[in-house]
Structure formats: C-alpha cells, structure tokens
Amino acid sequence: MELYELTIHEIQDKFLAGETTSAEVTASVFKRIDAVEKDVRAYITLMRETALAEAEEADGKIRRGETGPLTGIPIALKDIYCTKGVRTTCGSRILSDFIPPYDATVVEKLRAAGAVFTGKTNMDEFAMGSSTETSCFGATRNPWDLSRIPGGSSGGSAAAVAAGECIASLGSDTGGSIRQPAALCGVVGLKPTYGRVSRYGLIAFASSLDQIGPFTKDVEDAAILMNVIAGYDPRESTSVPEEVPDYRRFLAGGIEGWTVGIPKEYFIAGIDPEVEAAVREAIKVVEAAGARCVEISLPHTQYCLAVYYIVAPAEASSNLARYDGVKYGFRAEENRDLLEMYKKTRSAGFGAEVKRRIMIGTYALSSGYYDAYYKKASQVRSLIKRDFDLAFADCDCILTPTTPTPAFRVGEKTDDPMQMYLSDIFTISTNLAGIPGISVPCGFTASGLPIGVQFLAGHFQEGRLIQIASAYEKRAKIERRRPTL
C-alpha cells in the first residue's frame, strides 16, 4: 500500500514507529497528484513548495517529540476559506485573484495542530451547486468514473481524498455539500452542528446554513479532525460556547439498546434501487449491532427543498452584494459611470448559477414579497426543526440514504436546475434544522460507484454520530476499495 493511501491514524502510527516521515508522506501525495490531477482536477491552487517545507519542519518536531494532533499530515482545504498569502477564489472569476490578509479560524487551528497544507480544492462557484461543475476553473471529475461528477459543492475536497491526492480535507456544507460528495466519492463526510465549528474566515454563501466539516477515509480520522477544528471562537458571532469532548473516545462505544429512527419520507419514489438496497442492508447491520430500528415520520420533509431554495438564495443575495468591483476582486473596465461598473462587474464576474440564485433571493426579499416568501419559509423551517426535536425525543439517531442516486454523468443535469437541486433532497433538512450529520460508505453499485448511508443526531451530538458510524463501519466491513484511475 502506498503512503498516500493511508489514513491519518495509520500514518501517525508509522511516525511513532519511525517507519516513515512527513517528508516521505507529503512527497507520496504530490507524486500521486502529478499522476492523476490532470484527470481528476480536484485542486484550484497547489501549495507544493510550502507543503514540502512544512513537512521538513514537522519531521524536526517529530524527532524532538513536539508533535500535535496533526503534525506532518497532508491536508487539503476547500477554496472557500481565507488563507493568508494564498489566493482564495470560491471557484469564481470575481475572486480569481483575491489573496486574503488573514487565515480562517479552521486554518489557524489546523496550522497550530501541525498540518501540512497541500492546496486549495475546487468547488461549485460560491458553493452553489451539487456537482462541482459551476466552478470557473472547470469541473472536477469523480475518481471512480471520470465521466461522472464527484458531487458538490465540495467536490474537489471529496475527490482529493478519494483519489489519494491528500490524506484528509475540509469542506463546507450549506445544504449537503460535505455529505453528498462524500457519499458519491466513497469517503466519510461529517457536517457538524451549526455553531460547533467557527465560520470566521469562511466566505459566506448562506450564513444561517453554512458549516465547516471534514472529509476522511474512515470515521476515526473524522474524529481526529473534529477534535482540532471544533470549539468556541469569540470572533464568530454564531459560534456556540459548548464544551467539546474528545471525539476519539466515542470510537470504541457500541450501540446496543439504541433506538434508530428510519424516516419513511426518505424512501421515496425515484430513489435508485441499488442505493435503496444498500441502505436497507445498512439498517440490518445496525440492528445486528444491537440497535432497534423503528419507522418514524418527519412530516414536513416535503417542504424542505422549497424552504431551502428561498432561504439560501435570499441570504446569498445579501452576502454577495459586497462583490461590486469597488474594494477587492474582479472589476470590469471601460465604464461610463459607477452604475455601469457595478452591472458589468457582476455580470462578467458571476457565473449563471450564482446569478440565478441572486435573482431568486433578491425577488424573495423584495418589498411586497418578503412576507409571502422569506418570512413564510422561515416559519416552515421552524416546523422542520421541530420534526427533528420530536424525533430525537424517542430516537438516539436517525438513519437515511445520503443521496437518491449514485454519481450522475458530467453535464447530465446542468441544463435542468430542478433535477440538480433534487440531488440534495436527503441532506437539506439537516442544515435547515442546524443538526449534525455524517455520511459513511455503505457499498457499491454493480458498476462500482460508491453509495453512502447518512446518520443524523441532535444538536451538538457529534460524538453520538461518531459512535454509531464507527460501530457500523466496523461491523459492515465495506470493502476498502480505492479508485484505480
């Protein structure tokens, strides 16, 4: 097995045993990038020189016994976090040359923990998409089948982990943008509770929905990364001062006697038969581990898509108003006046999907329509949250499919926004309710495409998610395949 194929904890064991070095692991990752990146296109910006220097520095710390939780581990960052001195584009022309003067909190935390940064990964423009096809830098491909999408909007981060172009990565999740690509790329993806991980330095899409989380090769690595990035940040107004446990201690726990809810609304007409069969098999595994699976109802699920596509575009309309060509980012040239500069800058700087959502959001917030759209959507959002509150009064966790289908073909849904939006139908409710969720590989289709199962828990119950996901992972023994590329 090559070094780039290993997990965080496997590499750490080799560091302790003196069997390898960070420089060797990092070199292995970049050798893999050189071999496959031209096909996968997971990255927007590579940080090779600084990564190799960071690896050498990490090896010195390892020799001196001055290690942190991630010392010497190559990590990729979604290109939505501010990184001091390294361009941050959000996959958009309007920020194609933006170089932030500071690091996001999660970047600071990873750096303090000793991580080696391999680069900034590709994403749907401003995180608006489900396939990583709306990036102005071109589409990322699924490592399992290069004719297919990796999911989105964090498709570059998921594809990089699956393809061995990093050991782990971070993404962001506004409506499923960690869990959906994790499922489609055959890796683990965890969306924390809203407020658990600081959003300071995250370029906003929809501020009441955005959350940062990890992509990893197994559940133990997700726990390791959560130990680093979780916690209160006084610089971030929605950060919650909730105590953060050691998530690794949940890895050994069983689920005997647990009650796991299976929402009937998530097994719908149109779900791919192979996806449904794999998730039904996951239910059997959870039951064999000692849990009791019961059917539950989340009655307002049918409204989630409509609510999301009012709330998210409305917040995006507000957040993206700052990109006008005045203070930073792209500016159109040869303008007669300020108004023309605004129009030409935003028309040329934003892609079609971003402009579509800005227009939807501006309309929903406009005078005479606010009560009918945004206010009503916010009220129904409260009902969706209440559905989960009632469910968790009787259940320890909820189990659902992560996606309705395996990865679809590149270009298949770009001309049909509604079909694209339906890709997130099983993940959107989690963001609306602010609860945590994790997607774990649960099998493959007959053609070899990955399938994911999703576990959901109550607010700040990431430990419970890690416990059931780890118990499932150990018992299910899903074949540890890697894309051949």
Q: Which of 22, 28, 92, 153 is flagged as catalytic?
A: 153
Amino acid at 262: I
**Omega within 30 of 0 (cis) for the link into 423:** no
DSSP three-state, residue 172:
strand
Q: State residue 436's pLDDT score.
A: 98
Amino acid at 174: T
β 259-263/292-296 pair status: parallel
Q: What is the mean pLDDT of residues 378-404?
A: 98
The pLDDT-based confidence of 213 (bands split at 50, 70, 90) is very high
Q: What is the mean pLDDT of residues 255-274?
A: 95
**Residue 270: is its pLDDT beyond 90?**
no
Dihedral angle computed from the Cα positions of residues 334, 335, 336 and 339, in that order, rounded to the nearest 10 degrees: 180
Q: What is the mean pLDDT of residues 298-316?
A: 97
Q: What is the CATH number of domain 3-257?
A: 3.90.1300.10
pLDDT tens column, 349-369? 999 999 999 999 999 999 889
**Residues paired with residue 438 on neighbouring β-strands, in sequence order:** 190, 455
Residue 283 CA to chain centroid, in angstroms?
24
What average pLDDT does the chain have?
97
The pLDDT-based confidence of 229 (bands split at 50, 70, 90) is very high
pLDDT tens column, 455-470? 999 999 999 999 999 9
Q: State residue 367's pLDDT score.
A: 87
Residue 446: partners with Cβ closer than 8 Å, 6 or more residues away: 274
Q: State residue 485's pLDDT score.
A: 87
**Residue 155: is its pLDDT beyond 90?**
yes
Instruction: Name which of 4, 98, 122, 109 is nearest 485 in CA terms.
Output: 4
177 counts as catalytic: yes
153 counts as catalytic: yes
Q: Which of 28, 78, 172, 413 is flagged as catalytic?
A: 78
- Whether the CB-CB separation of 75 and 117 falls below 8 Å is answered with yes
Q: Which of 28, 177, 239, 429 is flagged as catalytic?
A: 177
DSSP three-state, residue 46:
strand
Q: State residue 61's pLDDT score.
A: 97
- Whether the CB-CB separation of 261 and 291 falls below 8 Å is answered with no
DSSP structure string for 394-436:
T-SEEEEES-SSSPPBTTSSTT-HHHHHGGGTTTHHHHHHT--
**Residue 484: is its pLDDT beyond 90?**
no
Give 385: exposed, middle or buried? Use CB within 10 Å, 0-12, 13-18, 19+: middle
pTM summary value: 0.97
- Whether the CB-CB separation of 410 and 145 falls below 8 Å is answered with no
Residue 480: partners with Cβ closer than 8 Å, 6 or more residues away: none
Q: State residue 327's pLDDT score.
A: 87
Show me where the domains of the chain are located: 3-257
Place of tokens 């699956």: 162
β 292-296/437-444 pair status: unpaired
Residue 462 CA to chain centroid, in angstroms?
15
Q: How far is CA 369 from CA 305, 354, 355, 363, 375, in A?
A: 19, 21, 19, 7, 9
How does DSSP classify residue 202? B
Least confident residue range of 50-64, 72-86, 320-334, 345-359: 320-334
